[in-house]
A = this chain, B = another copy of it.
């Protein structure tokens, strides 16, 4: 069986072909332009590939409510042409196969739970920390949608006592994304994060924000695994610092070996699928759509 996968990003689209083992057999990518042009490229890529289903992990916000007339639309994005664009309906019309549709981060969470770091678990959180912060929520074996869909990158965090930076989020100022995404690091330290030495105090501060958000997420949701991906998390020195902050935030309140020294190294982890997390997530979405087809 062949499954098509689309990572629909605001900057670029990645399209690929995978199988039911989550192996990516082929991929291409192209810049995101006006939707008509970009979706024509998507259709063109898939039309002779013989895929049985497709999965789309999309930038957002998107409409995930199957009973809405706007189901499958990108909703209110500043990206020119994409606001209120019927991405899923257009691709369904063109390809006429089962299509799975979710946020890029929910897809990545599903991919990790299917073949990656959370394989076999019925819950995980997937954080991507890069130019922004996004959070995919997988709980009780399902991707969480709800009223709209999770936007956990914007949770409100306590300010680090030594941090005078006002925050980068145009909505909230000093929310998690405003304090911890790549652009906030660069604005605070006047240099790109990738150019800061691994023992720079920036990383303690970064871990303070991430660890705090994770501690509250563990308290509210009790996920079985937390996966941290995205460009900022390529700074591997962050992992032990974040784990320390999480333990210091929880203070032993949640009794689980996974949250203690020793266990936590295997609880807060990088993506098991590495740079394939996004594409594999979309393959997993396509596979679910195939399995639940009418």
Task: Name A's B-contacting residues (CB within 8 A).
Answer: 61, 75-76, 123, 135, 137, 139-140, 142-159, 171-172, 212, 215-224, 249, 251-256, 258-259
Contact = CB atoms under 8 A, between A and B. Distances in A.
Contacts of A61: 255
A156 B249 contact: yes
Contact of A220 (B158, B220, B222, B258): B220
Nearest to A226: B147
Question: Secondary structure of the A side of the interface?
Answer: loop
A101 to B, nearest CB: 15
B139 A146 contact: yes
Contacts of A258: 147
B158 A156 contact: yes
B140 A145 contact: yes
A206 to B, nearest CB: 17
Nearest to A144: B139
A255 to B, nearest CB: 5
Contacts of A220: 135, 137, 150-152, 155, 217, 220-221
A159 B161 CA distance: 12
Contact of A212 (B147, B156, B251): B156
Given A155-B216, A220-B221, A222-B151, A255 B144 contact: no
Contacts of A75: 255
A255 B147 CA distance: 10
B221 A144 contact: yes
A224 B140 contact: no
Contacts of A159: 158
Contact of A140 (B140, B158, B212): B140
A151 B216 contact: no
A153 B107 CA distance: 29
- Which residue, A75, A147, A254, has most C-beta atoms of chain B within 10 A? A147
B254 A222 contact: no
Contact of A76 (B148, B150, B154, B255): B255
A259 B223 CA distance: 26
Given A137-B220, A156-B216, A220-B155, A255 B142 contact: no
B146 A221 contact: yes
Nearest to A212: B156
A61 to B, nearest CB: 6
Contacts of A254: 147-148, 151
